[in-house]
Structure 1
Amino acid sequence: MPQPPAVKPSAFKSVLITGSAGFIGFHLARRLLADGFRVHGYDGMTDYYDVTLKQRRHAMLLQTPGFTATEAMLEDAATLDRVADEFRPDVIVHLAAQAGVRYSLENPRAYIDANIVGTFNVMEAARRLEVGHLLMASTSSVYGANARMPYAETDKADTQLTIYAATKKATEAMGHSYAHLWNLPTTMFRFFTVYGPWGRPDMALFKFVDAILEGRPIDIYNHGEMFRDFTYIDDLVNGIRLLIDAVPQRPASPEDIAPNDSLSPVAPHRIVNIGNSDKVRLLDFVDAIEDTLGIPAKRNLMDMQKGDVPATWADAGLLQDLTGYRPATDVRQGIARFVDWFLDYYEKR
């Protein structure tokens, strides 16, 4: 397993994580608890995918001293405010969202409710409590139809292709306005195809491994000629942990901002890519899964799906400049760790 980077003791002591029963929130909570933070998790336990998996993650976290949790929806502003008032977090990490590019074609309203209304409620709580740092999850999908790669945070990103991506871009703009109006230090991170143990069942790696083991065909879009910047979960969590202490400050003048820095000239607001800085062809990804399992896949080659993009690729230079850290887990190693977890969890050995 990759070793977490050395970090200095944080000035912050308590963190409220939304989406704590989710894939990323669970791993982040474990990391912060190991680092000595008090953590309160907030999760709606929606049935977008297997709720049992979410419940298991929360149950594991609740075995650790320093972790408490609330099960409620972000749209329930009264409950969120009560929890925030009682816990009094130094930092809020907002990960909860309606995820999934393809599901946004079927149920777009869920994305407005969770991603827009829910995020507004989180920002209101952060403003009222004057937290030391608000960190909120965005996505590589906001780059949309951008053709220039690797994607840099300073690139214009106004061509989102799905309502999911559009809601995430909207939360970036909302976060900027609150950072400017209320001097609320805010970092938005754009994730790139996160994978690893305890991953979501709707993600490609989970679906591919499950189908191959069961002898079912796997759907491979664009005939496998797609590229993704696969980011291993531990690398992502390391990046978030380090960014907690990289608090953006309102610059004295635009000239103080480095050329590659996305820091706003008028607000303590920054956007940061967290990716592996490497694009992997989907067919090569499938090859690596087959090699790990020792089973060939039944490949159902399909055309590109509506709203999808042929490639994503992160420029993670700003993350490295801010934290000294750069994700680097090889995709074959990450796949092997996921498969080990999958076989154990589902008792398929």
Structure 2
Amino acid sequence: WCIYPTYDFTHCLSDSIEGITHSVCTLEFENNRPLYDWILDELKVHHPQQIEFARLNLSHTIMSKRKLLELVEEGYVSGWDDPRMPTLSGLKRRGYTPESIRKFCDIIGVAKANSIVDMVQLENCVREELNKTTQRVMAVLRPLKVVIVNYPEDKVEELEAINNPEDASMGTRKVPFSRVLYIEQDDFLEEPPKKFFRLAPGREVRLRYAYYITCEDVIKDKKTGEVVELQCRYDPATRGGGSPDGRRVKGTLHWVSANHAFEAEVRLYDHLFTKRDSTDVEEGADYKSNLNPKSLETLTSCKVEPGLEGAAPGSRYQFERLGYFFVDTTDSSAKKLVFNRTVSLRDTRPAPGPPTQY
């Protein structure tokens, strides 16, 4: 048998025929370069230059097309555009912008040594851009009912909210304020630790763009003991978030008006794999043993401010105090809003180490 190295012929000749000037390959093709050069020299045809570089390997994910295909075909992800996937379609559906991906590539550059680049660098690129470009809105992911007992039942105020403090040209919007509100469950503790500055019994906090409120009573479910409602009192003199007598509060909470809010589904995405190097497994184990069982949390009873009614698929917002969110381009509709978390406001995970080289 005469077995001809068909790839080695195809690679260099197709590059030559197509007029390629620089053929950029990954490091495993470095050994093929002498043959690449020899064929073109012997045939005396246009000779591109082959250049090798290291693959881009991201932490907490996997870049192998074969392994990504396994995740899709075996149902570990919903498809190639699942927002947890490191594919361009997956990043797009999660809310990453072309500009943030290009900036990430500029920052990491091109290397000759194989290494793992931490996902935090990519997340920081999209955070920096979205901070400058996205409208701020208020959304409550895990609602806790708040009743302001001294606020008139039939009164509704339109309060002015800033769309983006980084860009004054984006202007302001009106948000409704009423007697019954929703705040985040995490923003209340019945027995707060020393450095907890949010709402607690007898404590006063500021509602963003609104008033100071003080928690006076806590209503619990009689069967489960779960806190289901807070009864609070507001100070009418503190409209806009300031106090005429100069008193200060340490906590500022976001909120939505219960009678005006829209319900939405919010999908909270995290790393696809628990380990920085997804292929780091014990002997006999499969890389899928490192899959993160908490890579997706779906919240179905979130409350968003009324200005988000009819938010177009592909729109991006900052949910104040929570993170950056993208209106899903596949599942969101006028009847059912679906938001994908692109990235949190800040990374609360342990600081990554230096790039891993191998």
Q: Over alpha carbons, which structure has the higher Rg?
A: 2
Give the TM-score normalised by structure 2.
Answer: 0.23
TM value normalised by structure 1: 0.23
